Chain A
Amino acid sequence: DSGVTQTPKHLITATGQRVTLRCSPRSGDLSVYWYQQSLDQGLQFLIQYYNGEERAKGNILERFSAQQFPDLHSELNLSSLELGDSALYFCASSVARENTEAFFGQGTRLTVV
């Protein structure tokens, strides 16, 4: 058990809908990272938050947004969903702003139908 908790584990929704994925980092970790894993794109970094502030942005679509709350949990919001958004979404956390060892959650499998 990595100590990173993601909910829900599975999500099935229709195209055009909006969903929210939730992540609780390991106790004491200030950084949260969101990744998307799909067969064709591999593991893609989406966005990082450190102590409530956005620190780094990767290949995140404008339809996607995230935030980190004062209790350090994070949410990833995906809107106007398309079939191609179906993927495994991982949250990871680390102590520092620098990612030298990250701990991953078990992921949320999103299926858009």
Chain B
Amino acid sequence: AQSVAQPEDQVNVAEGNPLTVKCTYSVSGNPYLFWYVQYPNRGLQFLLKYITGDNLVKGSYGFEAEFNKSQTSFHLKKPSALVSDSALYFCAVRDIEGSYIPTFGRGTSLIVHP
């Protein structure tokens, strides 16, 4: 079985400050991990993924995520937040040896204040 948890419904951060959106996962084998972003009235957009290799993954719009196997986490980070980063962020996980279909978290609303 595979599951993912986003423990925060909402994250608030001031513009220019670093941001972190948390994600933890559970899989039987090894994980594929993803982050997607959803802007209001839009579909989800792919940000980045971890499949193998370097634990620090760089993605679109200056976002990065760190894979931590011992803590089963894949937190999304950005050094300096922009107001335009305000959106709904989804973490997803897929077991490499299991289902072809990722399971999505419930989403975290990121609000960046000017």
B-contacting residues of A (Cβ < 8 Å)?
A: 2, 4, 33, 42-43, 45, 48, 55-56, 58, 90, 92, 97-107
Residues of A within 8 A of B107 (CB): 42-43
Residues of A within 8 A of B44 (CB): 43, 90, 92, 102, 104
Q: Are B104 and A42 interface neighbours, CB within 8 A? A: yes
Q: Are B106 and A42 interface neighbours, CB within 8 A? A: yes
Tell me the total A-B contact number using a CB cutoff of 8 A: 53
A-contacting residues of B (Cβ < 8 Å)?
A: 32, 34, 36, 41-46, 49, 51, 90, 94, 99-107
Residues of B within 8 A of A42 (CB): 104-107
Residues of B within 8 A of A99 (CB): 94, 100-102
In the complex, the chain B residue whose C-beta lies closest to that of A48 is B101
CB distance from A31 to the nearest CB of B (A): 9
Q: Are A103 and B46 interface neighbours, CB within 8 A? A: yes
CB distance from A34 to the nearest CB of B (A): 11
Residues of A within 8 A of B32 (CB): 100
